[in-house]
Structures are given as C-alpha cells and as structure tokens.
C-alpha cells in the first residue's frame, strides 16, 4: 500500500477525510441540496457571494452550519484581479474563513480562467493571508506559477464549467500532478462517476464538482455515485495497478500436458 493511501486531504491548515468537495450551485432547493450534500459525504462546500436579498434569509448558511460542512467561498463572476480580491475580502468578512476558491474568468461563453488576472489575484490574496485555491486551466506551467505564488492547492479544470465533458486532456492533469507540491483538485467538467474516478486515478488529491450532482435527475443518488467514484479512483491509484501489456497473459495455469 502506498504511503498516501489512507492519509487525509490537507489544504493549508485544514484537514479532510473526504476527497470529494461538492459545491452548492445549481440545486433546485435547499432540501434537495441537503440530501445531496449528505450523500456525497463532503466536508467542504463552495458558496458564491451576492447582494443580500432582504426577503431571502440566510437558509443556506444555517443549513451548512447544521450539517457541519466547512465553507469555501468562491469569486465566481469576477473578470479582473481587482474584482476577485474585493470579493475574497468580502467573503472573509462575511463567512469568517481565510479559504477562497479563486475564480477569475475571461468570458461568459467559455468561463475559462484568465491566466494573467488569475495569477495577479493569487499573489495579492496570498500576501493578504488567504488560503488560496485557484480554479485554473489544465496548464502545467500556470499551475506551477500558482504554486510558486503560494497557493495552498491548484484546481485545474477537466473541461469548461457545467459542460459535463469530463477530462479532455488527461495527460496535462498527469503532468500537473507529477510536478505539484500542493494538492491537486480536479475542478469543473465532471459529468459522471467514472470521470471522478479517472481524476483520482490520474493522481489528483480531490475532486470538486457541483452541476454533475445538483442538476442530475436524482441528485442524491448521483452524489452517492460520485462519493464512490472518488473513493474507488483513489484506492485504485494507490493499489498499484498492473502494467498495460500488448499481448494476452493467462491468469489460469498452463493446461496439463496431454
């Protein structure tokens, strides 16, 4: 068994037994969200920051407190480093956490990260004492630079947010994993459980997903599937898989001589 097989996930000063981070986005209501969060076994969940709706109440925060799930605020919707830094500071003030999922996207159509603004924001937030988890492109060079800037993890996308297209460039994810000295969290693009398992088999330390569960026909059941997919992929990664071979290799003994 590999040394890392049953170790908890550590991001900054935080320790997690679950390697599935499930976001709260996309659930039709809080009851469906609650059932999905519980089924996923997640210990960390994302929220976004938006203007207070006086009639809306604070049901989401009450729910997360009741379930004992830690909160990872995001900077979704930010297009520039300045916007993301302000949003992160607002999140720290509102939610009393230094954790931030840093998202700085380039445009609405792709929701792909803007690498220049992302790195700039990451540097400012690290300097300001945040534990920064950047949502990044599946780019080994950018991931390395984010780590050098002091990010507590790197979170490369499998494919664009909400597409469910899975992991389009597994080799890039493997290269990020091979070089990273911080946890690698596969973030965005997961559509089904086999893709969550693949992320872990490629060597990721965790998977972050929301839409794949919250917009599934049966979110609670899909959350269970994702939990098992992540667990299976992690176990397989550290169980030492057999090498791929070109020709068949019998698993039964040679036939007896005639």
Partner 1 sequence: MQIVLNGENHEVDGEPVLARVLADAGLPERGVAVAVDGEVVPRRSWGEHRIADGARVEVLTAVQGG
Helix (H) / strand (E) element for 11: namely strand 9-11
Q: Give yes or no: 101 in active site.
A: yes
By CB under 8 A, the count of residues binding partner 1 is: 36
Question: Which is nearest to 215 in space by CA: 7, 31, 33, 72?
Answer: 33
Joined tokens for residue 146: 């984010």
- Told to check if 72 binds partner 1 by CB under 8 A, we report yes
- Told to check if 31 binds partner 1 by CB under 8 A, we report no
Please state the closest distance from residue 111 (CB atom) to partner 1, in A. 12
- Told to check if 71 binds partner 1 by CB under 8 A, we report yes
Residues of this chain, 39-58, that bind partner 1 according to CB under 8 A = 46-52, 54, 56-58
- Distance CA(202)–CA(186), nearest Å, equals 10
**C-beta of 45 vs 137, nearer to partner 1:** 45
Q: Would you call 71 helix, strand, or coil by DSSP?
A: strand
Using the rule CB under 8 A, which residue among 10, 38, 67, 86 binds partner 1? Answer: 86
The DSSP code for 215 is: T
Joined tokens for residue 48: 């976004």
* The one catalytic residue among 92, 101, 227, 237: 101
Q: Would you call 13 helix, strand, or coil by DSSP?
A: coil
Cβ-proximal residues to 87 (8 Å cutoff; 6+ apart), any chain: 49, 75, 77, 78
Joined tokens for residue 155: 């979170």
**C-beta of 79 vs 89, nearer to partner 1:** 89
- Told to check if 93 binds partner 1 by CB under 8 A, we report yes
What amino acid positions are annotated as catalytic residues? Answer: 101
Binding site for partner 1 (CB under 8 A): 23-27, 33, 46-52, 54, 56-58, 60-61, 71-74, 76, 86-87, 89-95, 101, 103, 210
């Amino acid at each position: 068994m590999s040394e890392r097989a049953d170790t908890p996930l550590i991001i900054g000063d935080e320790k997690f037994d679950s390697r599935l981070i499930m976001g709260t986005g996309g659930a039709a209501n809080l009851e469906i969200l609650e059932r999905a969060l519980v089924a996923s076994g997640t210990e960390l969940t994302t929220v976004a920051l938006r203007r207070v709706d006086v009639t809306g109440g604070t049901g989401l925060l009450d729910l997360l407190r009741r379930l004992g799930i830690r909160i990872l605020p995001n900077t979704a919707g930010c297009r520039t480093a300045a916007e993301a830094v302000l949003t992160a500071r607002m999140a720290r003030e509102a939610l009393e956490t230094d954790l931030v999922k840093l998202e700085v996207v380039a445009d609405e159509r792709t929701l792909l990260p803007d690498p220049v603004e992302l790195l700039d924001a990451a540097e400012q937030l690290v300097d300001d004492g945040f534990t920064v988890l950047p949502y990044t492109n599946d780019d080994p060079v950018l991931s390395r630079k984010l780590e050098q800037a002091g990010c507590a993890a790197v979170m490369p996308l499998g494919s664009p947010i909400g597409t469910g297209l899975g992991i389009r460039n597994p080799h890039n994810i493997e290269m990020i994993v091979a070089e990273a000295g911080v946890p690698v969290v596969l973030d965005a693009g997961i559509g089904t459980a086999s893709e969550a398992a693949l992320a872990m088999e490629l060597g990721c330390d965790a998977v972050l997903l929301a839409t794949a569960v919250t917009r599934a026909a049966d979110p609670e059941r899909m959350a269970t599937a994702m939990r098992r997919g992540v667990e299976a992929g992690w176990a397989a990664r550290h169980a030492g898989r057999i090498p791929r071979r070109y020709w068949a290799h019998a698993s039964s003994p040679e036939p007896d001589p005639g």
